[in-house]
Amino acid sequence: MITLNGATVCVTGGARGIGRATATALAARGAVVHIGDRDLAAATSTADSLGPRVHAHHLDVTDEASFRGFLGAAAESGPLDMLVNNAGIQHMGRFAELDLDALQRELAINLGAVVTGTHLVLPGMLERGRGHVVNVSSMAGKVTTPGIATYCASKFGVVALTRAIRAELAGSGVTVTTVLPAATRTELTAGVRLRLQPTLQPEAVAAAIVDSARHGRGEVTVPRCLAPIGILEETLPTAIMWRLKRFVGGAEYGAYDSGQRKDYLDRIRS
């Protein structure tokens, strides 16, 4: 597996939240970390706070040329050992009422960028016979949640994509892991009703991402106790699942506190 001390690692969406926590944990293990983010000022602030091993780059994960440029700049530190496809956004509300362009962009960031990033790094890793890719999904990639339909679709897609690629890579020396966290206390969940749901701090997800370089397991659920929850979706009668989801999420699917969520929505819409 990957020895992180001295390794070259790229993290997308690295300025904030899980990405920032992951960059912090990687740097603490001695990795040279390149964080990419649309918000270069925030990425630079994060890199400056984490020390000389962490470097900031502008990155639009929906643009192939931008992604190639990001990876090329990182390669100046040495061959890429690990890529963390972390960038993601979430729109909330009833599917039919949401802006279609916003939903298409959500898919492009959450799933399309994972396709792009993984496709760009694998040839070099396969040629060297080593490398590790982490694709950050969500428990929404196991259990459908009304009010975030497109987010669920994107995260289900990340799980399926990574499973298929993992089978193709068997025996190559290159590994790929899907990390599926429960709701995490970042801007993405600002104003979201999280009644009775287990919630995490970004550092817990970052620890799972970093540890995957050591063990290379195919799928990691955070926390581990939620690993079987996807089975409920397939086995419980639909009416019971609907009642459970309504109880946890509230009477109105996709409802949130607009005041608490305003700054996040303004940022991802800009």
Name the one residue in this structure whose structure tokens are 């016979």. 129
Query: Counting Cβ atoms within 10 Å, is residue 229 exposed (0-12), middle (13-18) or buried (19+)?
Result: middle
User: Measured between alpha carbons, how far is 194 from 250 in angstroms, rounded to an integer?
Assistant: 9
Determine whether 253 is an active site residue.
no
DSSP codes, 11-28:
EET-SSHHHHHHHHHHHH
Q: Which of 151, 253, 256, 264 is catalytic?
A: 151
The span from the first CA to the last CA of the chain, in angstroms, equals 39
Helix 202-215 to helix 17-28 angle (10° resolution) is 50
Which residues have CB under 8 Å from 168's CB, separation 6+?
none
Q: What's the distance, CA 258 to chain centroid? A: 24
Query: Counting Cβ atoms within 10 Å, is residue 99 exposed (0-12), middle (13-18) or buried (19+)?
Result: exposed
Catalytic residue IDs: 151
